[in-house]
Amino acid sequence: MAVNVLIVDNSEVIRTVLREAISEEFHVVAEAEDGADAIEIAETAEIDVVIMDIVMPGVDGIEATATIKELHPDAKVIFCTSVTQQERMKPAIEAGADGYVTKPFENSTIQNALDDVIS
């Protein structure tokens, strides 16, 4: 069974790195550059896992996660955040985060995080 992943980050570079790191094992259904786009995609797409940045312009990752979890209660959310944003992890967990990795990350780190939340 393919695992459908939505990648959400305002940095195109990070989205590309994430897509390249996981595309051999996981199906990237879409990419979004902010939380509003992610919510719009989640309204129609089949999503198993979301890799979500926390700090983005407009709708941030925490707000987007809460909404996406309402649309897809079984979807897993992995926050991909910088070390300086770790103080925001408590609200992220309250919004429904299932895991997190810190930027910069190794490809194996993101793959392990995905394996952890889908197992």
Least confident of 4-18, 29-43, 60-74, 98-112: 98-112
Q: Which residues fall within 8 angstroms of residue 30, CB to CB, at 6 or more apart? A: 6, 7, 41, 45
pLDDT score recorded for residue 45: 96
Mean pLDDT score, 88-115: 84
pLDDT of residue 111 exceeding 70? yes
pLDDT score recorded for residue 86: 60
**CATH value at residue 113:** 3.40.50.2300
Tokens representing 95?
């919004």
Instruction: State the residue range of the domain holding 106.
Output: 4-118
pLDDT of residue 115 exceeding 60? yes
* Secondary structure (3-state) at 4: strand
Residue in 74, 72, 83, 78 with CA at minimum distance from that of residue 39: 72
Give CA–CA dist 21/57, Å, rounded: 25
pLDDT digits (tens, 9 = 90+) for 43-80: 999 999 999 998 889 999 999 999 999 999 999 999 98
Write down the H helix ranges in 10-106: 12-22, 35-42, 61-71, 89-95
Give CA–CA dist 119/115, Å, rounded: 6
Mean pLDDT score, 99-118: 89
Show the CA angle centred on residue 92, arms to residues 107 and 54, nearest 5°: 55
* The total number of structural domains that make up the chain: 1
Give CA–CA dist 61/92, Å, rounded: 8
